[in-house]
Chain A
Amino acid sequence: MIGRLSAAAATMLCAASAHAAEGERIDVTGELIDTWCYFSGVMGGPEAVVGTAHHTCAMWCAAGGIPVGLLGEDGEVYMVLKLDGDDAANGGDSFLTLTNDTVEASGMHYARDGINYLVVSEVRSNLGIPNETHEDFGVIPGNAIPDAVVDDVLAEAE
């Protein structure tokens, strides 16, 4: 499984090597991911750093300036340059509230230097975080949520 995922991940950015002369309008459905943890492998395989398991870390990463990517259903990762209405292309925490959400987005795709970039013109729908990876992986990394907070949440749940 890991091998297949790794191979799939390795091909994601390769696919952008065939350059288009201009950007092209595309629709992408996928999850807004933390590209650092996804590509670096520092937190484990790519299946562990998406969805609910990695949500807290992904928010920290987005707040810290890590570029957000849109992991499409086709397996491609699109580096998101801006959302509709943003003046900035090189974003800060615009995506903080959207990390790990699965969205249906329209935008312009630019394949540059073997990398996919997406200028999002419209988020047509937001499905929230249906990818409940915490059931398999817990919290990734384990210290992303302080124990005291977990205890409080569990106490409230009881």
Chain B
Amino acid sequence: MRVRLLAAALAAGLAAPAGAEAPPPLPFDIGGPFALIDQHGTPRTEAALVGTPSLLFFGYAQCQAICTVALPRLAETVDLLTEAGVEVRPVLVTVDPVRDTPEALREAAPRVHPRLLALTGSEAALAAARKAYRVESELIGEDIEGPLYSHGSFLYLLDDRGNFLTLLPPILGPERMAKIARKYLDGRAMGQLEPVGTR
């Protein structure tokens, strides 16, 4: 009971309306060029993020930790936005180049979301992408399933040019994530909010 009460209280807190003023820019840049491969084996660069806003997450298909929370929330957020008439592309960039081959991602991606763009590549190419998006990842051990990676888990909301808009902690529920995303994307559609630079 007390857990339900707490959850309700937190939900109320998390649902608090944000102020109208544009949020302060972060003191570092997020985003940049990359050269990866999608789940169909097609080379993809940052140009793949142009044309539709994106919700971007770094993780891996075999992850039994934060990805099991973040990826379903990413998918549900995208669906909530779609229901609201806001098209957002779900994107996963793997941190596990050994197991997340294009073939493996082709099988895994639909389980996350039918429109998921799943990106992989060489270790160096993925490291470059992580550096561009300031995401940390580290091999922390092995279990019977294979390597275990620790990795950053904030989701990034990008505009239709691939520019960083804001970050979303994976602890937020899909409703809250969608509400925040709409603040940026509805605003852009109405010309009320400029893309938020990171510096």
Question: Total interface residues on A, using CB and 8 Å?
Answer: 57
User: Which residue from B14, B27, B30 sits with its C-beta under 8 Å from A108?
Assistant: B27
Residues in A neighbouring B134, C-beta threshold 8 A: 82, 87-90
- In the assembly, what is the distance between CA of A101 and CA of B25, in Å? 29
Chain A CB within 8 A of B26 CB: yes
Chain A's nearest CB lies how many Å from the CB of B25? 8
Residues in A neighbouring B69, C-beta threshold 8 A: 36
User: Is A89 within 8 A of B26, CB to CB?
Assistant: yes
User: Which residue from B14, B66, B138, B168 sits with its C-beta under 8 Å from A66?
Assistant: B66
User: Is B65 within 8 A of A65, CB to CB?
Assistant: yes
Proximity bits, B1-25, A CB within 8 Å = 1, else 0: 0111111011011101111111111
Chain B CB within 8 A of A91 CB: yes
Known: A63-B150, A65-B151, A66-B66. A2 touches B24 (CB 8 A): no
Chain B CB within 8 A of A123 CB: no
User: Is A66 within 8 A of B24, CB to CB?
Assistant: no
Chain A's nearest CB lies how many Å from the CB of B150? 4
User: Is B152 within 8 A of A19, CB to CB?
Assistant: no
Question: Which range contains the number of B residues in contact with the other chain?
Answer: 35 or more
Residues in A neighbouring B170, C-beta threshold 8 A: 36, 66-67
Known: A64-B65, A65-B65. A92 touches B152 (CB 8 A): yes
User: Is B7 within 8 A of A119, CB to CB?
Assistant: no
User: Is B153 within 8 A of A65, CB to CB?
Assistant: yes
User: Is A88 within 8 A of B13, CB to CB?
Assistant: no
- In the assembly, what is the distance between CA of A91 and CA of B2, in Å? 32
Binds B, one of A39-47, A136-144, A147-155: A39-47
Chain B's nearest CB lies how many Å from the CB of A3? 7
Q: Is the interface of B mostly helix, strand, loop or mixed?
A: mixed
User: Is B136 within 8 A of A90, CB to CB?
Assistant: yes
User: Is A88 within 8 A of B152, CB to CB?
Assistant: yes
User: Is B16 within 8 A of A17, CB to CB?
Assistant: yes
Known: A14-B13, A17-B16, A66-B66. A90 touches B7 (CB 8 A): no
User: Is A6 within 8 A of B6, CB to CB?
Assistant: yes
- In the assembly, what is the distance between CA of A14 and CA of B176, in Å? 13
Residues in A neighbouring B137, C-beta threshold 8 A: 92
User: Is B150 within 8 A of A36, CB to CB?
Assistant: no
Chain B CB within 8 A of A22 CB: yes
Binding site for B on A (CB under 8 A): 2-3, 5-7, 9-14, 17-23, 35-36, 39-42, 44-46, 60-67, 79, 81-82, 86-94, 96, 108, 110-115, 117, 119
Binding site for A on B (CB under 8 A): 2-7, 9-10, 12-14, 16-28, 30, 58-59, 63, 65-67, 69, 130-131, 133-138, 140, 149-154, 166-171, 180, 183
Give 12 A-B pairs besides A2-B2, A20-B24 with Cβ atoms closer than 8 angstroms: A9-B10, A21-B24, A23-B27, A63-B65, A64-B66, A66-B66, A67-B154, A88-B134, A89-B28, A110-B24, A112-B23, A113-B168
